[in-house]
Amino acid sequence: MMKKVLSNPLAIIGFAIIASIMLLALVAPFIAPYDPDAIDVKAILLSPSTSHIMGTDGLGRDVFSRMLYGARISLMVGFVAVGIATAIGIVLGAIAGFYRGWVDTVIMRIVDVMLSIPSFFLILAVIAFLSPSIWNIMIVIGLTSWMGVTRLVRAEFLSLRNREFVLAAQVLGAKDARLIFTHLLPNSLTPIIVSSILGIASAVLLESGLSFLGMGVQAPQASWGNILTDGKEYIQFAWWLSLFPGLAILLTVLGYNLLGDGLRDAYNPRSNQH
């Protein structure tokens, strides 16, 4: 599988993009030329130059420094939100696929109801009752994004439930927990990983959209979404405030999608990829 991924140039490009952005986010405190929250009234809306390579915003803050710290926020939201969604999806999908019957019916009807509600509007409705902090955003995105993982894990468990190695373990007296965690779940991990990688891209987009609408990460904390929000007021003459965070979001989502597609092609035995 790894050979297939490494032979896929698009997957390699996606991995390189993600690795680069993650590295920049990790070393942000060491390479950021300015304090991301430092206001300088003498440097308001300066265009990109050698002293401010991505210009400054309406408060004189360095956009490059805020972009670096914003990468940490956006990626953290993606990872934590997808971690919550994946954990919930694995538990519910495993229960539904393993026990089947009425348990499966109840869980899948809940999934159907959740899928019938537009997730973005559901998140907006929940955030409206809570303070729009970064932790609330991560939790809400995670609690409203588990349905796809649940359906995927359920399908994998249903396909593996009657395989010979599972039946043999059952005959030998293996308990339900051992069957689930030792035999079924490890053999279902690859599609779960692929789904999680693609889910991070969706979570980054959701966080950016919420921050752009003022319902996400709040100032002065920097995220790509609220940098975009600041830029919309000056878009006619301060193009850099919209261009750089927009490109960062585009590249991040593109990177995760390319890597996820590469892993999915490698996992699919019917794929015509390399």
Q: Quick check: is 57 in a domain?
A: no
Torsion, Cα of 193, 194, 199, 202 (10° steps): 150
Q: Quick check: is 39 in a domain?
A: no
Give the number of C-alpha atoms closer than 13 A to the C-alpha of residue 170, restricted to the C-beta side.
Answer: 12
Residue numbers of the chain with a pLDDT score lower than 50: 272-274
Q: Quick check: is 34 in a domain?
A: no
In angstroms, the CA 54 to CA 167 distance is 61
pLDDT for residue 273: 45
pLDDT tens, residue by residue, 81-96: 999 999 999 999 999 9
CATH number assigned to the domain comprising residue 262: 1.10.3720.10
| Domain with 104 in it | 2-28+63-267
CA 203 distance to own-chain centroid: 4
Q: Quick check: is 134 in a domain?
A: yes
Q: Global pTM? A: 0.84
pLDDT for residue 161: 82
Q: Quick check: is 130 in a domain?
A: yes
If one counts the domains in the chain, the total is: 1
Q: Quick check: is 53 in a domain?
A: no
Integer angstrom CA distances of residue 34 from 29, 60, 66, 214, 224: 9, 11, 9, 25, 17
Would you state the structure tokens that stand for residue 4, as one six-digit string? 């297939």
All residues at 6 or more sequence positions from 66 whose CB lies less than 8 Å from its CB, including other chains = 36, 57, 222, 227
